[in-house]
């Protein structure tokens, strides 16, 4: 079974209380579906089912390996390098997010 060797890249230990949406979509005025947060720098991007896949683009451009879902009730994380899903303990808080502009 694959394991993630990038836990030392996790610098976000407290989730923001609220976000306005995908940072990149908000800037360009485009819609997103689901939100993911980069656990290395806190960048909020959109999922791979969103038109622009900003979370994956951020991980690729910045080489930040791990994201976590910001969707209500979801606490899973994903490492792009190891391609493995996991739950990372020790991350506090829950983020209030607006409804998706795409209705998902
Ligand atoms: Zn990893
Ligand atoms: Zn986006
Ligand atoms: Zn990042």
pTM here?
Answer: 0.96
Cα distance between residue 56 and residue 50, in whole Å: 11
Model pLDDT for residues 56-75, shown as the tens digit of each residue: 999 999 999 999 999 999 99
* Closest ligand to the CA of 67: 3
Q: What DSSP letter does each residue of 25-61 carry, written as one string?
A: HHHHT---SSEEEETTT--EEE-TTSSS-HHHHHHHH
Model pLDDT for residues 22-44, shown as the tens digit of each residue: 999 999 999 999 999 999 999 99
How far is ligand 2, taken at its centre, from the CA of residue 1, in Å? 31
State CA 9 to chain mean position distance: 14
* Closest ligand to the CA of 84: 1
* DSSP reduced 3-state for 10: coil
How far is ligand 1, taken at its centre, from the CA of residue 58, in Å? 15
Which protein residues have their CB within 5 A of the ion that is ligand 3? 38, 40-41, 43, 62, 64
How far is ligand 1, taken at its centre, from the CA of residue 29, in Å? 32
How far is ligand 2, taken at its centre, from the CA of residue 32, in Å? 5
């Amino acid at each position: 079974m694959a394991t993630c060797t990038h836990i030392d890249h996790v610098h976000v230990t407290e989730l923001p209380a609220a976000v306005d949406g995908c940072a990149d979509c908000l800037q360009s005025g485009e819609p997103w579906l689901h939100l993911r947060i980069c656990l290395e720098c806190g960048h909020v991007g959109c999922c791979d089912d969103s038109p622009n896949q900003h979370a994956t683009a951020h991980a690729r451009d910045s080489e930040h390996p791990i994201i976590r879902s910001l969707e209500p009730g979801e606490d899973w994380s994903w490492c792009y390098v190891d391609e493995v899903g996991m739950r990372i303990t020790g991350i506090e808080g829950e983020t209030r997010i607006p409804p998706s502009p795409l209705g998902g």
